[in-house]
Structure 1
């Protein structure tokens, strides 16, 4: 954090919708660590107070996303709202509209492509007119790959191909992940010949060699919210995104348990690697990020984003992706204590 960010954070309130969820709890804790004042919002104030945040001074407010008046009351006094309540096709529109009525910034952690596209399509003009930032998918899925791509592209304003390879040594899904997976039946999109198109069927499969502990990995084309984020700002002929079959096997198995904490912060033991490969003619570039727990890492990513927005360390307002308004390399550097990033030509 910069000195300017430290000054901005003092007593600044940030609302967290879905604060009672697995990711929401990480976000609340990270806001407090950064000196911001979280407002925990959920359907049941009693549950938040008794089961989620007992014996704390966190401000708790009750609101259902379908209740506009309750949302308006819950967001009063906040400078921004972070939406952690999925599935986001069910919640994002209502919370964005509430943020716009309040004149505050909106960020969420969706992995749903359809939700990202709807947010950009429906709210870009209003966000620009209001002078606020509307930013979907600021988490492990979506925002991280967007920032990695921007960093490795550097001075390039276009590229021939972008390939994103996500490896997880396991995926113990939360209840929210399971519910979203069951409801998200939209066709997944990639960029083929310069256009957003559905993933070809059967979905392409590749083999990649990644750093330890992963080694040889088989990956299947399963794109998430990173594709619409990157496609809106990068001119590329091809954009494809793959997920390790180990992770897919876990998340598709109904008997796979939820995440289990292994440290005081609540992180699980899960390890991840995100490799991005880009080409322009005969030049090939690579960047890879590694860390622990895809749900836990989402909290510092989105809290770094909200803190930079509140401090004014951004390039413009409106409906934006992280790489559109942040210096991507600086942003990743700020996460250096929890995210290992390496770059280089191939």
Structure 2
């Protein structure tokens, strides 16, 4: 079987979701069902899985912790792929990747943590390639979306002189998991300067950019997430810097900011986001912007589209790699309509 042929025996197999009863995990389970795929809901607590109502919807539930290899192996039995939604990922990713490799199945996660992405690539690239499976960290709003946007807007360019990513949120209503990860993730943030991965300059640089409505003029501060180790893995660029809007940063740093609240039947919050990517090569500049609703909810169609393509064989390669090294980036982004509105703009 070539990498572009469909293996129907695998597409019929279930997709395991670790952390299924968490905020993002529930969106992922719902999206798998919407696509006709069969989720297996996995969590640390059978009681919490029961509270999520999975069994009542005919979804198989399995209990496992990342500290118990045997339990993880049992939980992944019969699955074709596993989506890890259980952070902090520095605590969970390595154990789940190892379990996926033992089972010979594909692994994806939704980490925003730079150290987790780096560790996954460094520890598992050879084993994943030898096993002929796909291992993709950060296949969500943070990380994967920017990686796909960069590859799409670069097009035929084989390198860039500079890449800037601006993430604007009209509010950041952080989940409990986001807050826990923020408290534990004390590693220095990394960017690319002078062609090398380096700690972000201190004090962080501020930028101003004008985005389409409803955002308008926005102030950003350099605060990179998992997009940097993804993009730097396969794109040649002298400079790579990612910025977060000061509005979002203020919200997430305020302990009184509430958790997201659903405003529609899908469970999405009212939060709006925009991700702007600008790539530069000499005097040439290219710009692309993606907009949508609810950073946690939109992660589900992003990662489930990736899983569906992997299981159908619509991939370029195997191994532990960034999304744009595995998929046709522009094709995957087009498939996310209406979850994302994407516009390429002249600069």
Work out whether the TM-score is over 0.5. yes
Q: Deviations over 1:271-290 (max 9, x none)?
A: 00000001101111000000
1:8–1:311 CA contact under 8 A, matched in 2? no
| Pairing 1:5-154 to 2, within 5 Å after superposition | 11-53=12-54, 55-154=56-155
2:273–2:292 CA contact under 8 A, matched in 1? yes
Counterpart for residue 187 of structure 1: 188
Counterpart for residue 202 of structure 1: 203
Counterpart for residue 243 of structure 1: 244
Question: Displacement, 1:5?
Answer: 7.6
1:207–1:217 CA contact under 8 A, matched in 2? yes
Question: Displacement, 1:9?
Answer: 8.0
1:189–1:196 CA contact under 8 A, matched in 2? yes
Question: Displacement, 1:262?
Answer: 0.2
Counterpart for residue 228 of structure 1: 229
2:54–2:60 CA contact under 8 A, matched in 1? no
1:168–1:247 CA contact under 8 A, matched in 2? yes
- SS of the residue corresponding to residue 232 of structure 1 reads helix
2:10–2:80 CA contact under 8 A, matched in 1? no
Question: Displacement, 1:345?
Answer: 3.0
Question: Displacement, 1:47?
Answer: 1.9
In 2, Cα distance between equivalents of 1:80 and 1:65: 16
In 2, Cα distance between equivalents of 1:342 and 1:7: 35
Counterpart for residue 275 of structure 1: 276
- SS of the residue corresponding to residue 244 of structure 2 reads strand
Answering whether residue 307 of structure 2 is matched by residue 292 of structure 1, we say: no
In 2, Cα distance between equivalents of 1:9 and 1:269: 37
- SS of the residue corresponding to residue 309 of structure 2 reads helix
- SS of the residue corresponding to residue 295 of structure 1 reads helix
In 2, Cα distance between equivalents of 1:289 and 1:114: 26
Question: Displacement, 1:11?
Answer: 3.8
1:71–1:95 CA contact under 8 A, matched in 2? yes
- SS of the residue corresponding to residue 187 of structure 2 reads coil
2:161–2:238 CA contact under 8 A, matched in 1? yes
Answering whether residue 313 of structure 2 is matched by residue 312 of structure 1, we say: yes
Question: Displacement, 1:56?
Answer: 1.2
In 1, Cα distance between equivalents of 2:219 and 2:75: 45
Counterpart for residue 168 of structure 2: 167
Question: Displacement, 1:7?
Answer: 6.1
**Structure 1 residues 174 and 8, CA, compared in 2 at 3 Å: closer, same or farther?**
farther
In 2, Cα distance between equivalents of 1:44 and 1:10: 28
Q: Deviations over 1:199-229 (max 9, x none)?
A: 0000001111111111111100000000000
Counterpart for residue 322 of structure 1: 323
**Structure 1 residues 334 and 8, CA, compared in 2 at 3 Å: closer, same or farther?**
farther
In 1, Cα distance between equivalents of 2:27 and 2:10: 18
TM-score (ref. length: structure 2): 0.97
- SS of the residue corresponding to residue 344 of structure 1 reads strand
**Structure 1 residues 105 and 202, CA, compared in 2 at 3 Å: closer, same or farther?**
same
In 1, Cα distance between equivalents of 2:65 and 2:278: 42
- SS of the residue corresponding to residue 267 of structure 1 reads coil
Number of aligned residues: 343
The answer for unaligned runs of 5 or more in structure 2 is: none
1:9–1:34 CA contact under 8 A, matched in 2? no
Question: Displacement, 1:344?
Answer: 3.0
In 1, Cα distance between equivalents of 2:233 and 2:193: 14
